[in-house]
Amino acid sequence: MNGNLRGVVPPLNQSERRDLRDSIRRRGVLVAVEYDPAGEIVDGFERVEIWEELRAAGHEIPPYPRVVRDLASDSDRRSYRREVNACRRHLTVEQRRRIIAEQLIDTPDHSNRQIADRLNVD
Q: What is the mean pLDDT of the chain?
A: 84
Q: What is the pLDDT of residues 10-62, one digit of tens each?
A: 888 899 899 999 999 999 999 999 999 989 999 999 999 999 999 999 999 99
Give the whole-angstrom CA distance, residue 104 versus residue 96.
Answer: 12
Q: Kindly state the percentage of the chain with pLDDT values over 90.
A: 44
pLDDT grade for 4, boundaries at 50, 70 and 90: confident
For the residues 59-82, what does the mean pLDDT come to? 91
Give the whole-angstrom CA distance, residue 98 versus residue 103.
Answer: 9
Residue 22 C-beta-side C-alpha neighbours within 13 Å: 6
Would you report the helix, strand and coil content of the chain in percent, each value rounded to 5? 55, 5, 40
pTM metric for this prediction:
0.74
